[in-house]
Amino acid sequence: MENSKDYKKRIKRHTPKSPIFKDCLLAFVFGGAISAIGEILASLYIYFGAEEQTSYTLVTVTLIFVSALLTGLGVFDNIARYAGAGTLVPVTGFANSVVSSAIDTKAEGLILGVGSKIFTVAGPVILYAILSGSILGVIYYFVTLFS
């Protein structure tokens, strides 16, 4: 019993303090900046003649491309190390996870490496998104059927 208390004290003493306020502030600023860039891009696409819905699709594609490119160049990880959760805005974080998995396994070949492991991180996201969308679709169908 006494050993566990000593162990907990030792762990507490050697564990670095987490600057939670700073981390939250950086995540807020960087996540907001990525979202603001998305809004600016949407406005630019609309200005150049795209319809509103099309502009949002173009923004998504642009953010995925830029995130994938920055991940491939090794820049995204440096930004994420500083910005923390702010880079996990769904589109940029998702693109980073897919490209990172592909880069990590490229030495194993295109089929056994990249092809089989590219969705290691993103796979569960895709699976549960499809599953929850399907379940909500069925619920919506029955709710509207009996309304």
Structure tokens at 81: 């190390």
- Of the two residues 47 and 19, the one the predictor is more confident about is 47
What predicted TM-score, i.e. pTM, was given to this entire model? Answer: 0.69
> Please, what sign has the CA dihedral across residues 36, 37, 39, 43?
positive
Predicted confidence (pLDDT) at residue 1 exceeds the cutoff of 60: no
CB of 106 closer than 8 Å to CB of 98: no
Q: Determine the pLDDT at residue 117.
A: 67
The answer to whether the CB of 79 falls within 8 A of the CB of 86 is no
Query: Helices 76-83 and 52-72 sit at what angle, rounded to 10 degrees?
Result: 100
Q: Which of 67-71, 87-91, 119-123 has the lowest mean pLDDT?
A: 119-123
Note whether 40 and 48 are within 8 A (CB): no
Q: pLDDT tens across 130-139, in order?
A: 899 999 999 9
Residue-wise pLDDT tens digits, 22-64: 999 999 999 999 999 999 999 999 999 999 999 999 999 999 9
